[in-house]
């Protein structure tokens, strides 16, 4: 719990209105922070900035420990679909940079790195979870355990990616400044995060799948542009990425929205079928430095 008055992580204003009370009862654990956790709608205390509209969690400020101890077998089980998704992302990157060095921050078990290496990029990943880093190491993928900035990763990169990470950190502006420091002057920075102003988010309200304990910062296009520009980035392209899921995974997720008595067993063979889903509720921003002096 932070006793100081919270300030907006995007614009620095201290005019934050309480919009949602915390759902936490008792102590949280790494389980609440798993990538595939689906306690949708359960969050810490959320406040909205009166100046810029950014929504942030104001009672969970020591989240790093949860990521270090995180284990997520279900995430590894969906590796095939996630790989297709990461290949699409690498294709986007290739439109702007065909080769070079790439740093993936929050690399997980190295799925994106694997896809990028297959296209000839020289890759490095940084991942806080010891378990996920181990999974990457078992596949000989160059992912180091820890946080960014990392003492073993001091060089600059042609490409830095931050995919579904910024919504998990308490100091997003500091993180972006560090990214800029390690990005080559002609480098590109690729960021993906859920869009709290998307139609899906508006229609579902707090039932939206991205409202969860692990998400402590809720961006939309405007707040993302704001924080990026303050950190010294210019957005050169906005894309709404598709995600790939197996039909079985989607079935289970869909059923979680229904009352218990309406749920049924999802047939196992659906695991084999992967489909793209574009709910247009994610933002992918391709950025460059706005001033290289």
Residue with smaller CB distance to Zn ion, 51 or 101: 51
For the CB of residue 175, give the shortest distance to Zn ion in the complex, in Å: 17
233 binds Zn ion (CB under 5 A): no
Query: What's the token pair of residue 216?
Result: 């402590």
Shortest distance, position 50 Cβ to Zn ion, whole Å: 8
Residue 160 to residue 166: CA distance in whole angstroms: 13
Of the chain, the end-to-end C-alpha distance in Å amounts to: 40
Among 7-15, 93-101, 120-128, 129-137, which window interacts with Zn ion (CB under 5 A)?
7-15
Question: Is 196 one of the binding residues for Zn ion (CB under 5 A)?
Answer: no
Which among 113, 104, 160, 165 is positioned nearest to 137, based on CA atoms? 113
Burial of 118: CB neighbours in 10 Å, binned 0-12, 13-18, 19+: exposed
Nearer to Zn ion, 11 or 107 (CB): 11
Supply 45's token pair. Answer: 């205390």
CA 70 to chain centre: 15
Minimum CB separation of residue 49 from Zn ion in Å reads 3
By CB under 5 A, name the one of 35, 40, 51, 164 that touches Zn ion. 51
Q: Which of 33, 34, 44, 52 binds Zn ion (CB under 5 A)?
A: 52
Piece in contact with Zn ion (CB under 5 A), picked from 54-62, 162-170, 205-213, 269-277: 54-62
Site membership for Zn ion, residue 102 (CB under 5 A)? no
Nearer to Zn ion, 81 or 225 (CB): 225
Rank residues 168 and 226 by Cβ distance to Zn ion and give the closer one: 226
Beta-carbon-side half-sphere exposure of residue 274 (alpha carbons within 13 Å): 12
Is the Cβ of residue 13 or residue 36 nearer to Zn ion in the bound state? 13
Pairing relationship of beta strands 101-105 and 122-127 according to DSSP bridges? parallel
- Confirm or reject binding of residue 230 to Zn ion (CB under 5 A): no
CB distance 139 to 110 below 8 Å: yes
Tell me if 54 contacts Zn ion by CB under 5 A.
yes
How many residues would you count in the chain? 293
Output the smallest distance, CB 256 to Zn ion, in A: 32
Q: How near is the Cβ of 218 to Zn ion at its closest, in Å?
A: 12
How many whole angstroms separate alpha carbon 105 and alpha carbon 268? Answer: 33
Q: Alpha helices, DSSP H only, in 109-190?
A: 111-118, 130-138, 172-181
| Residue whose pair of structure tokens reads 């915390």 in the numeric block | 22
Tokens encoding 111:
């799925």
Cβ nearer to Zn ion, comparing 8 with 183: 8
Measured between alpha carbons, how far is 137 from 135 in angstroms, rounded to an integer?
5
The reply to whether 10 sits near Zn ion by the rule CB under 5 A is: yes
Q: Is 8 in the site for Zn ion (CB under 5 A)?
A: yes
- Kindly state whether residue 190 participates in binding Zn ion, applying the rule CB under 5 A: no
Tell me which of 32, 34, 47, 49 binds Zn ion, using CB under 5 A.
49
2 or 156: CB nearest Zn ion:
2
What three-state secondary structure class fits 293? coil
In the complex, which residues of this chain contact Zn ion (CB under 5 A)? Answer: 8, 10-11, 13, 49, 51-52, 54
């Amino acid at each position: 719990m932070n006793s100081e008055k919270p300030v907006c992580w995007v614009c620095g204003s201290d005019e934050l209105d309480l919009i949602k009370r915390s759902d936490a009862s008792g102590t949280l654990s790494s389980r609440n922070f798993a990538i595939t956790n689906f306690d949708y709608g359960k969050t810490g205390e959320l406040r909205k900035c009166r100046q810029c509209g950014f929504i942030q969690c104001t009672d969970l400020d020591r989240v790093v420990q949860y990521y270090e101890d995180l284990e997520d077998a279900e995430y590894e089980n969906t590796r095939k679909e996630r790989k297709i998704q990461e290949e699409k992302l690498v294709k986007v990157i290739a439109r702007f940079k065909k080769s070079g060095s790439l740093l993936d921050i929050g690399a997980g078990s190295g799925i994106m790195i694997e896809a990028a290496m297959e296209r000839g990029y020289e890759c490095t990943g940084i991942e806080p979870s010891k378990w996920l880093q181990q999974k990457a190491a078992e596949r000989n993928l160059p992912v180091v355990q820890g946080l960014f900035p990392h003492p073993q990763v001091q060089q600059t990169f042609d490409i830095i990616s931050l995919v579904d990470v910024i919504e998990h950190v308490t100091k997003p502006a500091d993180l972006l400044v560090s990214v800029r420091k390690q990005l080559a002057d002609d480098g590109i920075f690729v960021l993906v995060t859920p869009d709290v102003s998307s139609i899906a988010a508006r229609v579902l309200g707090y039932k939206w799948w991205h409202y969860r304990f692990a998400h402590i910062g809720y961006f939309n296009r405007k707040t993302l542009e704001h924080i990026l520009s303050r950190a010294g980035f210019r957005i050169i392209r906005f894309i709404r990425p598709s995600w790939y899921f197996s039909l079985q995974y989607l079935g289970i997720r869909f059923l979680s929205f229904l009352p218990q008595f309406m749920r049924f067993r999802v047939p196992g063979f659906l695991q084999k079928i992967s489909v793209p889903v574009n709910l247009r509720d994610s933002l992918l921003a391709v950025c460059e430095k706005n001033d290289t002096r």
